[in-house]
Chains A and B, each alone.
Chain A
Amino acid sequence: MTHPASVQSTGETPPGTGTTTPQRARRGWLLLVPGMLWLALFFLFPTVQLFFTSLYDPAGSYISGYQMTWEFRNYLDAVVDTWNLFARSFAYAGIATALCLILGYPLAYAIAFKAGRWKNVMLVLVIAPFFTSFLLRTLSWAAILSDQGPVTQFLQTIAILPDDGRLLATPVAVIAGLTYNFLPFMTLPLYASLDKVDYRLIEAAGDLYSSPVTGFRNVTFPLSLPGVVSGTLLTFIPASGDYINAELLGTPKQYMIGNRIQAAFITEKDYPLAASLSIILMAIVLVMVIFYVRRAGTEKLV
């Protein structure tokens, strides 16, 4: 990155007049102050607080208060009890992310290249679900997937589902809910990336003996990789911490790590456990993201 001030300093300011370069640079940094303060207050401070909470003596309670005893054992206890929830969360989130990519890519592609004057309408339709609450939409999925609901009935009629089979309260329902809820987070970055792809490059690939499929593989898809990376991150990270879908569309058998954290915080009020689970989730996701972004090779992204 070139420093903005150093670009401006070449020739734009006549020597000896106006503000000098260091002053300009300092003013530029001032613009960052509100954002920094916000992050410090509402992100950094709670995170540090959470970290300390995770090390409190679990013998305490929220009524009697907690002792800071640097209980690193909290982490071990947390993992031993819940590793299967972590595994399930990442599996569900992974499957939902893959489904979002499969559903979202053609959609984003169509909006970017084929929609013509319907482009804006289609974009609004992608965003439209955000106009109602996340909870409400998930509740209506519960209705749609219910045992008497149209989807279950139909699948039973065509014998894909056995007569006593159900959708609600199965992993299928939870994953379907996750996929539905996070689809816009996948579609929008994909669209932003695809929309930037110069259509003339796709034509050039065709001119250079690429069939539509090879052209897509060698030109369109690589150029849309930044969107794929940000879309999968924006889907996978919140999906792995989600608890609403498992709560409303599943049973305790489908519970994810988010449900356990929520229960520990709200119901059991076991703050050290809840905090250590949160920190572990954060750490695992962070490691996965770093690994993923490295693999996707950001330096290859234009």
Chain B
Amino acid sequence: MSQGGRDLRLEGVTKRFGDFVAVDDLTLSVPQGSFFALLGPSGCGKTTTLRIIAGLEDPTQGQVFIGEEDITGLRPYKRPVNTVFQSYALFPHLSIAENVAFGLRRRGIKDFKSRTRDMLGLVQLEPYADRRPAQLSGGQQQRVALARALVNEPGVLLLDEPLGALDLKLRRQMQIELKRIQTEIDVTFVHVTHDQEEAMTMADTIAVMNNGVIEQMGHPEELYENPETTFVANFLGQSNLIVTEVLSSSPERVSVDCHGQQLEIDSARSHTDSGRGWLGVRPEKITATARGAEGRNGANLLSGGRVSDVSFVGVSTQYLVAMPWGQELMVFEQNTGQRAQLRNGDEVDLAWAPEHAFLLDARQDAHAGVMTPEDLE
């Protein structure tokens, strides 16, 4: 093994099931001890990717490395990798304590009893040590699955939606625990989740996956502020996507025409430089003001809007603003109490800073990655 640490690397990994490509030429590198989140819609290949890393699935093509060691052909039990399975896969014939001790005992670790007890304490399941998995609730079972993998302190821990069945309070608590353990024992975490907030608060790097391909990978903030595809723009948070025509582009700014009004975008956030493009702007970046009340001041200004829906959600108010070309844009405003609330039917101008918008290729589907209510179930 080299001094380059024990980074997890996938190179050109492809997995086909018959004609169906579940994972398509995936290349990524996860530095040792970092927290990597894999985010994506159902069926996009997240579990398959984890199974390839764990050795439970052979890739059709490509290699998996830990450090300099090629582990592609290594049997699962010889890999320094443990998995928290999406289906938990707890052993029904063993008690909770025996389940957690399983990996330690297979490796012949002497103090497996005390380690098991400590781990059960960590996931708050000490009183249940002698029960069988079938006698626990779904959330408790999930914590057993977590404990059973974590207790081994592996080089790489694969977590397949490990907190999905927990209520919000317990989930937040376990997130903090996980993050603490990860920093403490220097484990590389590969964490699959549906919960964007979880991914953004915990991960050093997020990869957004779609149809077996990583659409974009980077620091959470970067992904959120500067998405490169409509899929990422919609899947991570919400975005207004407005069709525009590129007028000119310079190294600093790109100018676009939006239904007769000129807008500017930072070149660094422009992912197309000619023809039509989707101008994207997050709802919370927009300020809606009564028509003509504010000057431009270097900001982008879209006028001609009319408030068509107001919903008060406590910390913020969410407006829908109908534009002259028929589109409704979302605007979120913090309830700071400093500005009067707008009312249905008010005529408004929308303003945002050029560095808060992004420009995407118009050939992409504007609705890619939009969460429908069914997805959130």
- A residues in contact (CB < 8 Å) with B: 198, 200-201, 203-211, 214-215, 218-219, 222-223, 300-302
13 residue pairs bridging A and B, Cβ less than 8 Å apart: A201-B89, A201-B91, A203-B56, A206-B76, A206-B77, A207-B54, A207-B83, A209-B152, A210-B77, A215-B77, A218-B102, A223-B92, A302-B92
Which of A209, A210, A222, A300 has most chain B Cβ within 10 Å? A209
Q: How far is the CB of B317 from chain A (nearest CB, A)?
A: 42
Q: How far is the CA of A300 from the CA of B91 in the complex (A)?
A: 12
Contact B89 A209 (CB under 8 A): no
Residue B87 is within 8 A (CB to CB) of chain A in the complex: yes
B77–A200 touching, CB < 8 Å: no
CB distance A211 to B85 under 8 Å?
no
A217 to chain B, nearest CB (A): 11
Taken together as a complex, chains A and B put the C-alpha atoms of A223 and B93 apart, in Å, by 7
- A3 → chain B closest CB, angstroms: 20
Task: List the A residue with the shortest CB-CB distance to B134.
Answer: A302
- Contacts A200-B87, A214-B106; A207 near B82 (Cβ below 8 A): yes
Q: Is A209 a contact partner of B103 (Cβ separation < 8 A)?
A: yes
Interface size class of B (residues with CB under 8 A): 20 to 34
Contact A208 B82 (CB under 8 A): yes
| Complex interface: chain A residues within 8 A of B76 (CB) | 203, 206-207
Q: A218 to B202: give the CA distance in the assembly, Å.
A: 36
Q: Are A200 and B92 in contact (CB under 8 A)?
A: no
Instruction: Assess whether B81 is interfacial by the CB under 8 Å rule.
Output: yes
Chain A residue numbers with a CB within 8 Å of B134 are 302
Q: Are B106's CB and A206's CB within 8 A? A: no
Contacts of B55 in A (CB 8 A): 206
Whether A204 contacts B91 by the Cβ 8 Å rule is yes
**When the two chains form their complex, are residues A206 and B102 in contact, meaning their CB atoms are under 8 A apart?**
no
Q: Which residue of A lies closest to B81 (CB)?
A: A207
What residues of B have a CB within 8 angstroms of the CB of A214 in the complex? 106
Per the bound structure, the CA–CA distance linking A300 and B94 in Å amounts to 9
Question: Are B93 and A208 in contact (CB-based, < 8 A)?
Answer: no
| B binding-site residues for A, Cβ under 8 Å | 54-56, 75-77, 81-83, 85, 87, 89-93, 102-103, 106-107, 132, 134, 148-149, 152
Contact B82 A300 (CB under 8 A): no
- B56's nearest neighbour on chain A, judged by CB, is A203
Residue of B nearest to A203 (CB): B56
Pick the contact of A209: B90, B92, B107 (CB < 8 A): B107
Min CB–CB distance A206 → chain B (angstroms): 4
Bound complex: CA A210 to CA B56 (Å) = 13
**What CA separation (Å) do A198 and B83 show in the bound complex?**
17
B93 and A206: CB pair below 8 A?
no
Given contacts A203-B76, A223-B92, contact A208 B148 (CB under 8 A): yes
Cβ A302 vs Cβ B89 within 8 A: no
Taking A203-B89, A219-B91, A223-B92 as contacts, is the C-beta distance between A208 and B75 under 8 angstroms?
A: no
- In the bound assembly, the distance between CA atoms of A85 and B54 in angstroms comes to 57
- Whether A206 contacts B56 by the Cβ 8 Å rule is yes
A85 to chain B, nearest CB (A): 40
Chain B residues contacting A198 (CB-CB under 8 Å) are 89
Q: Which residue of B lies closest to A214 (CB)?
A: B106
Instruction: Enumerate chain A residues within 8 angstroms of B102, measured Cβ to Cβ.
Output: 205, 208, 210, 218
Among all A-B residue pairs, the 3 with the closest Cβ atoms:
A208-B103, A204-B89, A209-B106
Taking a contact as CB atoms under 8 Å apart, the answer to whether B85 and A210 are in contact is no
Q: Write the nearest CB–CB distance from A190 to chain B, whole angstroms.
A: 17
Question: Is B93 in contact with A207, judged by CB distance below 8 angstroms?
Answer: no
Nearest B residue to A197, CB-CB: B92
Least distance between A212 CB and chain B CB atoms (Å): 8
User: Taking the nearest CB of chain B, how far is it from the CB of A254, in angstroms?
Assistant: 41
Residue from B54, B56, B93, B103 within 8 A of A300 (CB atoms): B93
Question: Considering the chains assembled together, what is the distance between the CA atoms of A200 and B76 in angstroms?
Answer: 13
11 extra interface residue pairs, beta carbon distance < 8 Å, beyond A203-B56, A208-B102: A198-B89, A204-B83, A204-B89, A206-B77, A208-B103, A210-B77, A211-B75, A214-B106, A301-B93, A302-B92, A302-B93
Least Cβ distance of A207 to chain B in Å? 5
Contact of A222 with B103 in the complex, beta carbons under 8 Å: no
Contact A209 to B77, CB < 8 A, known contacts A200-B85, A203-B56, A204-B85: yes
Which residue of chain A lies nearest to B103 when distances are taken between CB atoms in the complex? Answer: A208
Q: Which residues of chain A have C-beta atoms less than 8 A from B56's C-beta?
A: 203, 206-207
Minimum CB distance partner of B87 in chain A: A200
Measured between beta carbons, the chain A residues less than 8 angstroms from B107 are 209
Please name all residues of chain B whose beta carbon is closer than 8 Å to the beta carbon of A218 when the two chains form the complex: 102, 106
Q: Across the two chains, which residue of chain A brings its CB closest to B132?
A: A302
- Would you give the shortest CB distance from A201 to chain B, in whole angstroms? 6
Bound together, the chains give a CA A208 to CA B56 distance in angstroms of 12
CB-nearest residue of chain A to B101: A208
**Assembled-state Cα–Cα distance A211/B90 (Å):** 18
B81 touches A208 (CB 8 A): no
B94 to chain A, nearest CB (A): 8
Residue of A nearest to B86 (CB): A200
Q: How far is the CB of B127 from chain A (nearest CB, A)?
A: 21
In angstroms, Cα B81 to Cα A207, docked, is 7
- Give the shortest distance, in Å, between B340 (CB) and chain A (any CB): 51
Contacts of A210 in B (CB 8 A): 77, 102, 106
Contacting residues, chain B, for A301 (C-beta < 8 A): 93
Question: How far, in Å, is A202 (CB) from chain B's closest CB?
Answer: 9
- Select one of A200, A208, A222, A223 contacting B106, CB under 8 A: A208
